[in-house]
Structure 1
Amino acid sequence: MCAMHVAAADIMIKDPALADQGRSKIDFAATRMPVLETIRQDFAARRPLDGLRIAGCLHITTETANLCRTLVAGGAEVSVCASNPLSTKDDVAAAIHRDFGAAVYAIHGCDRDTFYRQVEGALSHAPQVIVDDGADLTATIHRERTDLLEGIIGGTEVTSTGVHRMRSMERDGTLGYPVVPLNDALTKHLFDNRYGTGQNTVDGILRAAHVLFAGSVLVVAGYGWCGRGIATRASGMGARVIVVEVDPIKALEAVLDGYDVMPMGEAARHGDIFVTATGNRDVITIDHLMIMKTGAIVCNSGHFDIEIDVAGLKAQATAARPVRPDAVEYTLPSGSTVILLADGRLVGQSAAEASPPDVMDLSFSTQALLIEYLAANAARLTPAVHPVPRSIEDQVAEQKLRSMGHLIEGLSEAQHAYLNSWQTGT
Structure 2
Amino acid sequence: MSRIRDINLWESGKKKIEWVKNFMPVVNTLESKYSFSQIFKDKTIGMCIHLEAKTARLALAFKNCGAKVVCAGSNPLSTQDDVAAYLVKEGIEVFAWRGESSEDYERNLEEVLKKEPNLIIDDGFDLTVLLYKKFSYLKHKIFGVGEETTTGVKRAKALLKDRGLDFPVVAVNDSKLKFLFDNRYGTGESAISSFMRNTNLLISGRTFVVAGYGWVGRGIAQKLQGLKAKVIITEVDPIKALEAHMDGFSVMPMKEAVKIGDVFITATGNFKVIGEEYFYDLKDGAILANAGHFNVEIDMETLEKIAIEKREVRDNIHEYKLPNGKRVFVIAEGRLLNLAGGDGHPIEIMDLSFGIQFLVMKWLMERGKELPKVVISVSEDIELEIAKIKLDSLGISIDTLTPEQLNYLQSWE
TM-score clears 0.5: yes
The alignment status of 1:71 with 2:53, answered yes or no, reads: no
Q: Does 1:81 align with 2:72?
A: yes
The answer on whether the counterparts of 1:194 and 1:226 sit within 8 Å (CA) in structure 2 is: yes
Does 2:409 correspond to 1:419? yes
- Secondary structure at 2:295 match in 1: coil
**In structure 2, how many angstroms separate the alpha carbons of the residues matched to 1:352 and 1:80?**
20
Q: Which of residues 315, 328, 353 is equivalent to 1:363?
A: 353
Preserved CA contact (<8 Å) 1:58 1:82: yes
Residue equivalent to 1:218: 208
**TM-superposition CA deviations, 1:86-129 (whole Å, max 9, x none):** 00000000111212x21101100111111111111111101111
Q: Distance in 1 between matches of 2:391 and 2:218?
A: 23
- For the 8 Å contact 1:43–1:70, the answer to whether it is kept is no
For the pair 1:302 / 2:292, whether they are aligned, the reply is yes
User: Structure 2: which 5+ runs fail to align?
Assistant: none
Alignment of 1:23-422 (within 5 A): 23-99=14-90, 101-422=91-412
Deviation at 1:175, TM superposition (A): 2.0
Alpha-carbon separation, structure 1, partners of 2:370 and 2:301: 46
For 1:33, the aligned partner's letter is M
Distance 1:56 1:406 in 2: 33
Output the amino acid matched with 1:311.
E
CA distance in 2, matches of 1:168, 1:408: 40
TM-score using structure 2 length? 0.99
- Give the % identical residues: 41
1:14 deviates by 2.0
Q: Distance in 1 between matches of 2:169 and 2:4?
A: 29
TM-fit CA distance, 1:288: 0.9
C-alpha offsets along residues 266-317 of structure 1, whole Å, 9 cap, x if unaligned?
1111100000001110100022111011000001000000000111111111
- Distance in 2 of aligned mates of 1:167 and 1:57: 19
User: Are the aligned partners of 1:12 and 1:118 in contact in 2 as well (CA < 8 Å)?
Assistant: no
Structure 2 residue identity aligned to 1:108: R
Q: Which amino acid aligns with 1:235?
A: Q
Count of residue pairs the alignment pairs up: 413
Counterpart Cα distance in 2 of 1:112 and 1:15: 21
Match of 1:3 in 2: none
Q: Is the 2:172–2:377 contact (alpha carbons within 8 Å) kept by the matching residues of 1?
A: no
AA at the equivalent of 1:368: F
Q: CA deviation digits over 1:384-423, x for unaligned, max 9? A: 1111100100111111112112111111111111111111
Alpha-carbon distance between aligned partners in 1 of 2:12 and 2:114, rounded to the nearest angstrom: 28
For residues 212 and 406 of structure 1, what CA distance do their matches in structure 2 show?
A: 36
What is the rounded CA distance, in whole Å, between the counterparts of 2:116 and 2:152 in structure 1? 21
Shift of 1:212: 1.1
Alignment counterpart, residue 13 of structure 1, candidates 4, 7, 22: 4
**How far has the Cα of 1:176 moved from its partner?**
2.1
* Structure 1 unmatched runs, 5+: 1-9
**Cα distance in structure 2, aligned partners of 1:190 and 1:14:** 37
Contact 1:36 1:361 in 2 (8 A): yes
Post-superposition offset of 1:382: 2.4
TM-score computed with the length of structure 1 as normaliser: 0.96
Q: What displacement does 1:206 show? A: 1.1
